[in-house]
Structure 1
Amino acid sequence: MSETTIVLGAAIFRDHRLFVARRSQPPSMAGFWELPGDESTGDERGTLQDLFATEFGVALRPVDQILSDRVLLSWRDADSQTVDAALRVWRCQFPAEVTFADGEPRPNMYRYDDTSWVPVEELDSVGPWRDEARIAAGEIADWFLSDETWQGAD
């Protein structure tokens, strides 16, 4: 039996908007919006920090895991082989002193080619999403809207 690949996603909110990015690689995911993330290397916090430093040129602070494993259908690994995979989402923050203009942080155009800060109530204003990513984003948005403490930390 093959081991399940853990795919990490970062849930980042600012001003009641969720940070999302559009994939450009691998080809099977190109054009789809998602919570930015990567396959876990074992150190989940480190994986997310490395991704954001490399892909977006910004520091990231993973706070805690907020969404347990959700099955990803038709996930393809780096060799384009379909593998068993699960999405695990972390609540993350950018450093408080970092400010962004619209459309920032910008991707380096390798794995992602666009970003957006999407209002929580308007997740479908960007698209298309892979079904699993859209469902997870909706769950996280619902949780954010029901958690005054999280909204206050936004």
Structure 2
Amino acid sequence: MTELVVAGAAIVRDYHIFVARRSRPQAVSGYWELPGDQVGPDEDEQSALQREFTTEFSISLRCVDRILSDRKLQSWPTEDGESTSDVTLRVWRCQLPSEATLDTELGEPRPNMYSYDESRWLDIDDLDAVGPWRDADRLMADEIADYYRNDDIWQMAD
């Protein structure tokens, strides 16, 4: 069986991390996470993230580099309600276009309501302002916040 890879986007601007609430599949509906998607058979992780953001948030995305260690997920829900095991979550530091004018108070960019029904920019010191989180995503959000706090170059780039 081939390992399934899910790519997640770490987007931080001015000490705020972009997160979204899943609306489907049903097994994860209502849970907050780092936006992302399963990597398809003919795409790489960056392409999967770019596809997800173009489709779901109508905005382009630039993948800068992979950060953090891979995280094994116990399962990943499929659209048909089944669950797949042997899943790896990989997080990419990403940037939205610098010329994009986003109202972070409104959670922009807003989802197109296919996979997500809500989005927010959370202060990295208040990640529990939303919930419930998918477990692996909540742990990784803490790690991303620590990484951002200690990376002057990332802070200047955003």
Quickly name the TM-score band, shorter chain normalised.
Answer: over 0.9
Report matched runs for 1:93-112 at 5 Å. 93-101=95-103, 102=105, 103-112=107-116
1:132 to 133, 136, 146: 136
- SS of equivalent residue, structure 1 residue 49: helix
Report matched runs for 1:26-65 at 5 Å. 26-41=25-40, 42-65=43-66
2:120 to 116, 125, 136: 116
The code of the aligned residue for 1:94 comes to L
The code of the aligned residue for 1:47 comes to A
Structure 2: which 5+ runs fail to align?
none
Report matched runs for 1:56-95 at 5 Å. 56-83=57-84, 84-95=86-97
How far residue 98 of structure 1 moved from its aligned partner, in angstroms, is: 0.6
**CA shift digits 1:62-98 (9 cap, x unpaired):** 1111123101123223333222211100000011101
2:152 to 100, 123, 148: 148
CA distance in 2, matches of 1:44, 1:131: 21
CA distance in 1, matches of 2:35, 2:16: 14
**CA shift digits 1:106-132 (9 cap, x unpaired):** 001110000000001111111110111
The code of the aligned residue for 1:55 comes to E
Report matched runs for 1:4-19 at 5 Å. 4-19=3-18
- SS of equivalent residue, structure 2 residue 133: coil
- SS of equivalent residue, structure 1 residue 28: helix
For normalisation by structure 2, the TM-score amounts to: 0.93
CA distance in 1, matches of 2:32, 2:124: 15
CA RMSD of aligned residues (A): 1.1
Q: Match of 1:20?
A: 19
- SS of equivalent residue, structure 1 residue 54: helix
Structure 1: which 5+ runs fail to align?
none
For normalisation by structure 1, the TM-score amounts to: 0.95
